[in-house]
Structure 1
Amino acid sequence: MASARTDDDRRLKPNIELVPELTRAEQQREARRERRQRRRARRKAGSIPPPSGESGYEEHVGDTAKKEADSFSEQLPVTIGDQGKSPLGIFVEEKDLVSYRRDWESSWGGNFGLFQDYTCVRAMLFTRRPTPPHAGVKTCLQIFSIRVTEIDDGLEWPLEVYGLVATRDAVDHNRNIIFRRERDACQCLAKQGSLMLTGPSRAVVFTDPVDIEIQLKVKGTTEQEDKDLISKVLVYGRDFGNDNSGAAGHLVRTTCSSQLCSLELTSAPIAGAVEATIISIEVIQGRWPKNLGIRVVSGTAGTDEDFVLLDARDGRFRVDLADGLIRHSRHIVCVEQDGGLKLSVEAYKRNGDFYEGSAVTVLPPKRFSASLGICKLNFCTVRFTVAWSCLANVGDLKAHGI
């Protein structure tokens, strides 16, 4: 994989300790935030919420990857409840949400709080602290996309969708948000549209079956006219049968349905993985043209599917011209320890036609610390800051007071 890296990336000396670089990046981001806040204060009299397209990520990743990326603060110790044994699941099992909640509260509520609580385990757990002996690589579940493929019962495109999708794994059995939108910040889905995913907020560990909780609604003219689009729980078990559909790196496209719609969820198990957190994406040379849309893509050596960090091809301009920051939607990617993290940037015309793309930069994974990656287009240079961390199961976290 090293041969696939660019000359610029080689000059970045990825094996050196990058903590000073991280500290400088932290200070620069803080200064940029303060400048933006002052500009907003001058433009607006009073506090006005940000546009719905920008608020989604800060709402449900704010206590995990967002704060980690902004501050690089040391991880706060948390108390993890006793690890239990998840019920064995078949490849995909649909369960009634009401009974699922009742079962969850009976099995896990005493140790892990309320059903609606978010995961208390943060990303970048061992990025800056020494990696303890119990931390290492794990099999993880990578969710690439969730798409509404069919609608029924009188619904018509486009749909205004809100609600949540969350995973629950054996780490703490709490919600790890993949998608969340409030009613007043719903997503407008065109025909067979994909949800704008913003999670997970940490790696989804796949050592035991993973539950995927789906609660989506369609916005009506009034709240009383809103409809339940789909309410399901999918259970991804360890044993996928004999067709090799659950083999590491093998893409699985799963369909679940309700009376109103069908969803297609694309995912893959990633074996022997470490956690990569895409902390920042910045234009460091040149300038991103206002008339170009942008798509930022990551991937791993073991899968052919794109893991989209940002898709703003339709004109939702997301490059801050003042400081060059690219506000990406997703941050956590699981990468095979013996593979590589692939990064690339694509530019699009406002009509959606492809304009230009960078070469793919491949970063070798680490067990801790951070890496810098460079992607070049003709009109600008984009730099990625990526933090690495090993993973640990719930029993080890609790035993070590984390």
Structure 2
Amino acid sequence: MASVEELESEEEVEGFEPFFYDSEDWDAWAEEEVERRRREEEEKARKTEENRRRSEAHKKVMDSIIEYDPKVERNVYTRFFLRDFSVFDINEESSVPPMRYTDSIYQDEFGLEDSANILSVSIVSSDVGFPVNVYGRVIARDSIDYKCIYLFHRNRDDCQHLNKDGMLILTGPYRGLVLVDFIYLEIDLKIREEGVPDRPFSKGLISIDGRVLSREKDVMVRRETLESWLSTTEVRFTTVLNAVECTFEIKLIEGLLKGNITVGIADKARKLDNEQTIVIHDSTADGVVTSDESGVIKLRRSVITICLERNVMFRINNEVAGVCAERTFDLSPRRTGADELEITCGAGKFGFRVVWSLMDFRL
């Protein structure tokens, strides 16, 4: 850094005559110049330190999400990696709520977003056989903010016991997923075994590419698999063109529920593709519901997305006097608003509230 004396010793100073100047003005300017250079050097040092800090923070996260997978015998990304992790928190949950535009006034030409429904996540093969006790997480990241949306999340003391069918009980997403370019799925499952340390079971990253969707079919069932560590995991999902979000709540008004409830996407002829159905309540695993409780049925999942050319179809199976009754009904989707109706099936009377909302990739 130049001192006042060094500045005074320079032979030429731009804007000043060498033999005719006011010493007080010169001294003031020289001090200001020293201060300016000091601030510049401080700012340069601050930026250098900030860049170093950010580089280290980013590298620390990247080092943690690249692992050697013994099944495929190479290093793999185990988590989403396309962000600057010095400013992006890889563990932060998405705060974008469902039903964002339920009460909005919209224009008919308002654009609709493509979407995807995660139908199932299954262990289709296990190197350690079945059954296995599995815990961990499955996370979705969509085109709105790429933050965490849990589909499956269990700790070690709450393992899911998987038999040969190997299907995880999903409890998300809590809102519709928007598919502009990609939706990423992070899988990180471990197995709990008695007498030995827990082991990684399935771990890696799956992507759903929205850039290559066929525009000829509005709903298409697809599959992606992940071979990793000690298993092969299959994700089944539907891609949905020009979708709206459908959020639902079900109450038991009278009687009891001893059976199951599913939701799916039907065509306008009310033909339901069973491959696209999702179990949202199963009394065998989730418990029998009676009307003397709170009334609200705890659903595994409460959101799907659907295009306006299809119908949302609910199916209730409910046991009464040892006989299983079945009731199926459907609703035509809307861009916004809500529908409410009461349905009787078997020994139960149910109240359905279905809320419609547009989706937008912009925050």
The answer for the alignment partner of 1:199 in structure 2 is: 172
- Aligned CA distance change for structure 1 residues 315 and 130 (closer, same or farther; 3 Å): closer
Measured in 1, the distance between the counterparts of 2:339 and 2:96 equals 23
Percent of pairs identical after alignment?
23
Which structure 1 residue ranges, 5 or more long, are not aligned?
A: 1-93, 398-402
- Aligned CA distance change for structure 1 residues 133 and 120 (closer, same or farther; 3 Å): farther
**Which whole-Å deviations, capped at 9, do the CAs of 1:266-296 have from their partners, x for residues lacking one?**
1111111110111x21122x4016xx3x211
Are the equivalent residues in 2 in contact too, given 1:105–1:114 (CA < 8 A)?
no
Are the equivalent residues in 1 in contact too, given 2:180–2:210 (CA < 8 A)?
yes
Are the equivalent residues in 2 in contact too, given 1:164–1:177 (CA < 8 A)?
yes
Measured in 2, the distance between the counterparts of 1:300 and 1:157 equals 32
Note the C-alpha offset of 1:321: 3.4
Measured in 2, the distance between the counterparts of 1:143 and 1:150 equals 20
Are the equivalent residues in 2 in contact too, given 1:369–1:389 (CA < 8 A)?
yes
Measured in 1, the distance between the counterparts of 2:319 and 2:297 equals 15
Classify the secondary structure of the residue corresponding to 2:206: strand
Instruction: Choose from 306, 324, 332 the match for 2:303.
Output: 332
Residue identity matched to 1:295? N
Aligned alpha-carbon RMSD (Å): 2.9
Q: TM-score, normalised by structure 1?
A: 0.64
1:342 counterpart = 2:313: yes
1:259 counterpart = 2:237: no
The answer for the alignment partner of 1:190 in structure 2 is: 163
The answer for the alignment partner of 2:210 in structure 1 is: 238
Measured in 2, the distance between the counterparts of 1:200 and 1:363 equals 21
Measured in 1, the distance between the counterparts of 2:347 and 2:228 equals 47
The answer for the alignment partner of 2:338 in structure 1 is: 370
Residue identity matched to 1:248? D
Note the C-alpha offset of 1:229: 0.6
Q: Which has the higher contact order (CA 8 A, sep 6+)?
A: 1
**Which whole-Å deviations, capped at 9, do the CAs of 1:146-203 have from their partners, x for residues lacking one?**
1111111xx2422111111111122001111111111111211122221110111211
Are the equivalent residues in 2 in contact too, given 1:219–1:226 (CA < 8 A)?
yes
**Which whole-Å deviations, capped at 9, do the CAs of 1:177-234 have from their partners, x for residues lacking one?**
1111111112111222211101112111111111111111111236x71111111101
Are the equivalent residues in 1 in contact too, given 2:176–2:305 (CA < 8 A)?
yes
Measured in 2, the distance between the counterparts of 1:115 and 1:380 equals 44
**Which whole-Å deviations, capped at 9, do the CAs of 1:26-48 have from their partners, x for residues lacking one?**
xxxxxxxxxxxxxxxxxxxxxxx
The answer for the alignment partner of 1:388 in structure 2 is: 356
Classify the secondary structure of the residue corresponding to 1:313: helix
Residue identity matched to 2:266? A
Classify the secondary structure of the residue corresponding to 1:221: coil
The answer for the alignment partner of 1:97 in structure 2 is: 77
- Aligned CA distance change for structure 1 residues 282 and 315 (closer, same or farther; 3 Å): closer
Classify the secondary structure of the residue corresponding to 2:256: coil
Q: Which has the larger radius of gyration?
A: 2
More strand by share: 2
Which structure 2 residue ranges, 5 or more long, are not aligned?
A: 1-73
Instruction: Choose from 355, 365, 371 the match for 2:324.
Output: 355
**Aligned length, in residue pairs:** 284
Measured in 2, the distance between the counterparts of 1:348 and 1:253 equals 34
The answer for the alignment partner of 2:100 in structure 1 is: 125
Residue identity matched to 2:360? A
Q: TM-score, normalised by structure 2?
A: 0.70
Classify the secondary structure of the residue corresponding to 1:381: strand
Measured in 1, the distance between the counterparts of 2:291 and 2:204 equals 38
- Aligned CA distance change for structure 1 residues 226 and 393 (closer, same or farther; 3 Å): same
Are the equivalent residues in 1 in contact too, given 2:280–2:300 (CA < 8 A)?
yes
